[in-house]
Amino acid sequence: MADKNMLKQKDAMPKVRWISLAVAVVVLVSLPFWGGDYIVNIFTLILMYMAIGEMWNLLGGYAGLVSLGSQAFIGLGGYSLAIVSQVLKLPFLLGFLLAAIVSVIFALLISFPIFNMKDVYFTIGTWLVAEALCVFFQTWGFVNYNVGFNITVARTLGATAMYFIAFGVAVIALLAVVLILRSKFGLGLMAMRDNEAASEIRGVKLYRSKLICFLISAAITGLAGAALYLNLSYIKPTVGFSIDWTVSMVFIAVIGGMGTIEGPIIGAIVFVILRQLLYNFSGFSMLILGVIAVVMILVAPKGIMGLINKKSGFDLFGVKRKVKISDFQTNEDN
Amino acid sequence: MEAILKVKDLGIAFGGNKVLDSVNFYVNEGEVLGIMGPNGAGKTVLLNIISGILKADHGEIIFLGQNILKESITARTAMGIGRTFQVPRAFEHMSVYENILASVVYGQKVSEKAAAVKAREILKLVKLEERANEPAGKLRLINRKRLEIGAALASDPKLLLLDEVAGGLTNAEVNEILEIVKTIKGRGVSIIWIEHIIQTLMEGTDRIMLLANGRDLLTDTPEEVMKSSIVNEVYMGAEEDD
């Protein structure tokens, strides 16, 4: 009986889902008009970190590609913006386009060697590639060696404009993940997330799926890198290609919940708020964040979203496929 | 009757240990071939080679007239080889329906809409329609086994490899699995079935192959195999079934 009820049960989620999404959109779109600069800046950071968290999660949470080199795309994005706006003196928005293109090309180039590395070797490989890129930029005169660039266009932008740029990047990241997971490709990704070997035997082409995720993740992380450095207004190699970026992404995904869309949203909120609270303990802030992440892994390995999902089965973006008992009856009739 | 699968001189060794020395057998269209053998006989290894998970050191696997030894796992799935695993490997965080849906989409290379119809048919066949929206990770063993069979069927296989699908089940549950296997056979699917429950093999197979010491020692009808002294010799020497 209980089983039948489960099937008959009307999906109560769409209502909650649509109301939640509508409230979130209204709040986020109107925020610059009622929130002060501080609040707007905090949300700007949350949106940008959410975007990079989603992209790391696409790799680590779904495709099983645990990367420690995603900072390469942040740096490439930041430098693309700097070169377009500071060197070429072109409209800075073209820097975003270049960020995505350069990141995809770089991802494609490194995919051949690093995709031949398995598990921990892949992780180390991605990190080494990012480090090598950092060293290369330190010795490249065209990008001012270790001095880097002041991104002066940032000074002409107000908090509101910066907020909406971050909002745009976050929407692109979120839409990309939602559309992927709602597609046929997404079904394969979720299967890969749950059991890579079994997904392959069911017909999922692992290499191709992973490569697609890697390229999408690179493009959007590059975009986010451009946004992050537009906000920071200064870039140099040791900062642009710092592993701290990827550590943040991992923290966001782990705290929020790996392998879920909602996880990086929650994770980004927690991360940015914690970072603000720990601002005065700069020497210890990463240590404290690390301890929090470890405790979270031990207590709730599926993150905050995992806990919510376990309690309520809540799925904000409706990527779960469901079937109704009437569908089976229709089959029988036919 | 024509053979859908012919295995010739198949062998594999791990670190000098010959797990399969020289295995030869065939499976006819629509036939169920049972495989029995003691612990460590290489039964699962044999299925892993046929499905492409392991690469054989030598030999041939002719499936539908083509040597598939160099084909990838996904290519073999697309050609019509489906398999279950001894320990069910469900997509734990996906629902039962999503498990089958994903397997149909990728196994048959069809749209999600077309796959939905086929997924529902499979759920009915393996009697999981009432659990369709439950997370696969929360299923009990019998339902995990059903799901495993359903997922293997999702690619519309011509040859189904069953690896101890009745293992760990009660007698009543074993009979349920047996009925499902008979239904699948009734649809013309050829089956290779590894099982330790002899009675199940007796009832559910057309022929049984005895695998031991890396070789196919005997292949015959279930009745003839059970009468054979070779079976006693092999099992007397074995400590315990796996």
Find out whether B218 and B211 touch, Cβ atoms under 8 Å.
Answer: no
Q: Where are the alpha helices (DSSP H) in chain B?
A: 43-51, 73-79, 96-108, 112-125, 141-153, 171-186, 198-204, 222-227, 229-237
B69 reaches A (C-beta below 8 A)? no
What is the tens place of the pLDDT at every residue in A26-37?
A: 999 999 999 999
Of A184, A201, A328, the CB nearest to B73: A201
Q: Which fold has domain B3-237?
A: Rossmann fold (3.40.50)
Residue B46: what pLDDT?
Answer: 98
When scoring A201, A210, A314, A330 by the number of chain B Cβ atoms within 10 A, the one with the most, hence best to mutate, is: A201
Instruction: Look up residue B42 and give its DSSP letter.
Output: S
| Cα–Cα distance list, B155 to A64, A205, B30, B190 (Å) | 24, 14, 17, 14
Which residues of chain B lie closer than 8 angstroms to A1, CB-CB?
none
How many residues make up chain A in this entry? Answer: 334
* Contact flag A203-B103 (C-beta cutoff 8 Å): yes
Residue A11's pLDDT band (boundaries 50, 70, 90)? low
- The distance between the two most distant Cα atoms of chain A, rounded to a whole number of Å, is 73
* Contact flag A321-B97 (C-beta cutoff 8 Å): yes
When scoring A199, A323, A331 by the number of chain B Cβ atoms within 10 A, the one with the most, hence best to mutate, is: A323
- What is the rounded CA–CA span in Å between residue B153 and residue B216? 27
What is the tens place of the pLDDT at every residue in A238-248?
A: 999 999 999 99
Is A194 inside any structural domain? yes
* Contact flag B73-A191 (C-beta cutoff 8 Å): no
pLDDT at B51 over 60: yes
Residue B87's pLDDT band (boundaries 50, 70, 90)? very high
User: Three-class SS string for A104-123?
Assistant: HHHHHHHHHHHCCCCHHHHH
Residue A3: what pLDDT?
Answer: 47
Of B89, B103, B120, the CB nearest to A327: B120
Range B26-47 average pLDDT: 96
Of B98, B124, B130, the CB nearest to A7: B130
pLDDT at B20 over 70: yes
Q: Euclidean distance between the first and final Cα of chain B, in Å?
A: 33
- What is the rounded CA–CA span in Å between residue B59 and residue B21? 10
Is A72 inside any structural domain? yes
* Contact flag B107-A203 (C-beta cutoff 8 Å): yes
Q: Could you give the angle at the alpha carbon of A108 between the alpha carbons of A104 and A113, nearest 5°?
A: 145
Residue B110's pLDDT band (boundaries 50, 70, 90)? very high
Residue A155's pLDDT band (boundaries 50, 70, 90)? confident
A190 reaches B (C-beta below 8 A)? yes
ipTM of this complex: 0.91
Query: Which of A106-145 are b and which e, b meaning 16 or more Cβ less than 10 Å from the residue's Cβ?
Result: bbeebbeebbeeeeeebbebbbebbbebbeebbeeeebbe
Residue A9: what pLDDT?
Answer: 44
What is the tens place of the pLDDT at every residue in B55-79?
A: 999 999 999 999 999 999 999 999 9
B204 min Cα distance to partner chain A (Å) = 25
- How much of chain B, in percent, has pLDDT values that exceed 70? 97
- Comparing CA positions, the residue from A153, A155, A170 lying closest to residue A44 is A170
Number of Cβ within 10 Å of residue A202's Cβ equals 29
Which residues of chain B lie closer than 8 angstroms to A6, CB-CB?
130-131, 133-134
Residue extents of the structural domains in chain B: 3-237
What is the tens place of the pLDDT at every residue in A44-90?
A: 999 999 999 999 999 999 998 999 999 999 999 999 999 999 999 99
- How much of chain A, in percent, has pLDDT values that exceed 90? 78
Residue A333: what pLDDT?
Answer: 47
Of B51, B94, B97, the CB nearest to A191: B94
A188 min Cα distance to partner chain B (Å) = 6
Is A8 inside any structural domain? no
Residue A15's pLDDT band (boundaries 50, 70, 90)? confident
When scoring A9, A187, A262, A327 by the number of chain B Cβ atoms within 10 A, the one with the most, hence best to mutate, is: A187
Find out whether B175 and B199 touch, Cβ atoms under 8 Å.
Answer: no
Range A219-235 average pLDDT: 97
- What is the rounded CA–CA span in Å between residue A191 and residue A199? 6
- What is the rounded CA–CA span in Å between residue A181 and residue A322? 14
Strands B58-63 and B3-14: antiparallel
Residue A12: what pLDDT?
Answer: 58
Is A103 inside any structural domain? yes
* Contact flag A187-B83 (C-beta cutoff 8 Å): no
* Contact flag A203-B131 (C-beta cutoff 8 Å): no
| Cα–Cα distance list, A143 to A81, A109, A233, A242, B42 (Å) | 12, 21, 15, 17, 60
Task: Identify the three-state secondary structure at position B10.
Answer: strand
Looking up tokens 């429950």, which residue turns up? Answer: B197
Which residues of chain B lie closer than 8 angstroms to A203, CB-CB?
74, 77-78, 103, 106-109, 155
What is the tens place of the pLDDT at every residue in A88-143?
A: 999 999 999 999 999 999 999 999 999 999 889 999 999 999 999 999 999 999 99
Q: Which residue has the higher pLDDT, A314 or B128?
A: B128
- Per the structure, the count of domains in chain A is 1
Paired tokens of A83: 């070169």
Strands B32-36 and B207-212: parallel
B-facing residues of A in 195-224 (CB < 8 A) are 195, 197-205
* Contact flag B109-A201 (C-beta cutoff 8 Å): no
Residue A7: what pLDDT?
Answer: 47
B103 reaches A (C-beta below 8 A)? yes
Find out whether A96 and A81 touch, Cβ atoms under 8 Å.
Answer: yes
Which residues of chain B lie closer than 8 angstroms to A188, CB-CB?
102, 105-106
Paired tokens of B11: 């062998």
Instruction: State the count of interchain CB pairs (< 8 A) between A and B.
Output: 114
What is the tens place of the pLDDT at every residue in A248-265?
A: 999 999 999 999 999 999
B49 min Cα distance to partner chain A (Å) = 12
* Contact flag B106-A320 (C-beta cutoff 8 Å): no
